[in-house]
Homo-oligomer: A and B are copies of this chain.
Amino acid sequence: MAGTAEIFKAQGQSCNAKGIAAAIAALTAAFGNRVVISLAVREQHGNTLTWVPNQPPDAVVYPQNTGDVQTIVRICADNRVPVIPFGVGTSLEGHINAPLGGVSIDFRDMNKVLAVHAEDLDCVVEPGITRKALNEHLRDQGLFFPIDPGADASLGGMAATRCSGTNAVRYGTMKDNVLALKVVMADGELMTTSRRAKKSSAGYDLTRLMVGSEGTLGVITELTLKLSGIPEAIASGVCPFPSVDAACKATILTIQSGIPVARIELLDALQIRAVNAYSKLSLPEVPTLFVEFHGSDAGVAEQSQRFGEIVADLGGGPFDWATKPEDRSRLWQARHDGYWAARHLRPGAQAFATDVCVPISRLAECVTASQRAAAELHLIAPILGHVGDGNFHLSLLVDMADAGEVERAGILMERVVELALSMDGTCTGEHGVGQGKMKYLKAEHGAPALAAMAAIKRALDPQNIMNPGKIVALN
C-alpha cells in the first residue's frame, strides 16, 4: 500500500498508512477475495463523471449483507480509516472519491428486492439495485418507482444524494419516496430510521436526515421505498416556444392551474440542436418543452387539452401529443440522451454537468442570464431543465487542452451558482454537494446552518471516518 500512501502525500493529504494497512489485513482475513486492491479497480471507484480528479480508495470490498457492512465499518473504525459507499458510480460531484484514502464499499452484490407490499404500495430493497432493475421487477404487479434521474443509478446512491429527475414535479424527490432506511453507523451499530407506516410523528426525522447525507453520517444497507401504480394512460408531447420566457410562463400556468403534469422538461435551442443531431429528430431549433401526463384515459386527454390552451395563449405550439408507447419512448429516449447529445455537439470535448434550482418565478431570468454568461465567456453550454421544479442543468463542453477555456468554464459554473443564490435558489437541486459544491454551502445556508451540519456530523461520526471531505469540512 506504500504506493497509494505516497500518492496521497504528493497531493498534500494526510494519510493513515499504518491504519490502512491494518484495516486491509483485517478485511482480507474476513472477506478473502472480496477485498480488491488492484489499481484499476481502485481507480474505477475513485472516478466520477465530473471535473473532480480521480482519487482512488486503498481497497474495494464487496459485502453480501448488512452484517458484512457492519464488520467492514467496525474494522475501519478500529483503524480510523475512511469508509466510502459506492453504488454504480454515476455521481457528478466527486461523492465517491477518496481524498483521504480509505475503503470503498461496493454494493454490487447487495442488489436484491427483499419484499414488495403491493397493498401498501411499498417495497424493501438492498442499496445496490438500480432503478431500471427495480422497475423491471415491479412491472408485473402494475407498480413502479417513479424517481428517474436519467442515469441507471443505484437506489442507495439515489437516496444518499437526495436525487430526483424528470418525474419529481409530480412524484417528488427521494426525500418523498423513502419510507425507512437501515443504516450502519460510524460505530458499526445498525440503525433503523423508521417503520413502514406511511407517516409518523415519532421523534426526529432520521430518514430525511440520512437521505442526502451522501454517506457522511452512515452507510445505507436497506431501503423501504414508496411505490406508485403504473398509470392507466400516459400522454406525451413536445411543444416549441418563441422564447425561454414563454416556455417558463407556460410551466408556471400549468402548475398553478392544478394540471398534475408528470414531467415538464425545457430544452433550450442549442440543446434541441444537439438532440436533433444525436437522436435523428427534426424539431424546430427553439426553446422546447417535453411534457408527459399520467392518469385515466379521460384524465390525460383533459390535461393535454388544457395544457394546449395555455401554450396557445403564450404564442407557443403547435402542441402535438401522443399516447402510443413507441412514440413516447422515442421522445423520452431523446430527452434522456440529452447529456450524450450535448457531448456530440463538440467531439473530443469534456462535458461538465452542473445543476442549480430556483423558485420557478425566477427560472426564465436565471436560464437566460446563464445563457448570456456562457456567450460572454465564449463557452458552449446547452441547457436542460426540470422546469416544473425550477431546476436546470448546463452541460459545459470544454476543450481540456485549452487552459484559458478550462478557467472560463470554472468561472461560468461559479457565476451560475451565484445567479441561483441571488434568486433565493440552491447551488444544487439534485446532484448533491460531494466535493464539488462544498464551497457554496456557506453562501447558501449561512454560518449557523453550517455549524449545525458540522455539529451533527461530529455527533454521529466523531472520528470523521464516514466519507470524509464531502458536504461538511471539519477542522
Chain A residues packing against B (C-beta within 8 Å):
117-122, 161-164, 168, 172-173, 175-176, 185, 189-206, 208-209, 211-213, 217, 228-229, 231-232, 252, 255-258, 260, 295-296, 298-299, 302, 357-361, 389-391, 420-421, 424-433, 437, 440-441, 444-449, 451-453, 455-456, 458-460, 471-472
Q: Judge whether A448 and B212 touch: CB under 8 Å.
A: no
Give Cα A197–Cα B420 distance, bound, in whole angstroms.
Answer: 9
Q: Judge whether B198 and A357 touch: CB under 8 Å.
A: yes
Q: Find A200's partner among B202, B232, B357 (CB 8 Å cutoff).
A: B357
Q: Judge whether A255 and B206 touch: CB under 8 Å.
A: no
Give Cα A453–Cα B444 distance, bound, in whole angstroms.
Answer: 26
Report chain B residues within 8 Å CB of A208.
175, 205, 208-209
Q: Judge whether B425 and A197 touch: CB under 8 Å.
A: yes
Q: Judge whether A229 and B257 touch: CB under 8 Å.
A: yes
The chain B residue with its CB closest to the CB of A295 is B258
The chain B residue with its CB closest to the CB of A163 is B201
**12 further A-B pairs in the complex, CB-CB below 8 A; given A197-B425, A208-B209:** A118-B256, A119-B252, A189-B447, A189-B448, A196-B359, A197-B359, A200-B357, A201-B433, A203-B471, A204-B452, A206-B452, A258-B295
Q: Find A360's partner among B119, B164, B429 (CB 8 Å cutoff).
A: B119
Q: Judge whether B204 and A430 touch: CB under 8 Å.
A: no
Report chain B residues within 8 Å CB of A456.
204, 209, 456, 459-460
- By DSSP majority rule, is chain A's interface helix, strand, loop, or mixed? loop
Give Cα A197–Cα B197 distance, bound, in whole angstroms.
Answer: 28
Report chain B residues within 8 Å CB of A195.
421, 424-426, 444
Q: Judge whether A472 and B433 touch: CB under 8 Å.
A: no
The chain B residue with its CB closest to the CB of A257 is B229
Q: Judge whether A446 and B191 touch: CB under 8 Å.
A: yes
Minimum-distance CB pairs A-B, first 5: A208-B208, A459-B459, A200-B426, A191-B448, A119-B361
Give Cα A311–Cα B235 distance, bound, in whole angstroms.
Answer: 29
Report chain B residues within 8 Å CB of A163.
201
Q: List 13 A-B contacts (CB under 8 A).
A: A119-B256, A120-B360, A189-B447, A189-B448, A199-B429, A201-B212, A203-B433, A204-B472, A206-B445, A258-B296, A260-B260, A298-B302, A452-B460
Q: Judge whether B361 and A117 touch: CB under 8 Å.
A: yes
Shortest C-beta distance, A147 to chain B (Å), equals 12
Report chain B residues within 8 Å CB of A197.
357-359, 389-391, 420, 424-426, 429
Q: Judge whether A449 and B359 touch: CB under 8 Å.
A: no
Q: Judge whether B199 and A391 touch: CB under 8 Å.
A: yes
Report chain B residues within 8 Å CB of A472.
203-204
Report chain B residues within 8 Å CB of A199.
164, 168, 173, 357, 389, 391, 426, 429-430
Q: Judge whether A229 and B256 touch: CB under 8 Å.
A: yes
Report chain B residues within 8 Å CB of A192.
445-446, 448-449
Given known pairs A121-B255, A255-B121, the reply for A424 and B196 (CB within 8 Å) is yes
Give Cα A185–Cα B429 distance, bound, in whole angstroms.
Answer: 26
Give Cα A295–Cα B472 distance, bound, in whole angstroms.
Answer: 44
Q: Find A205's partner among B175, B299, B427 (CB 8 Å cutoff).
A: B175
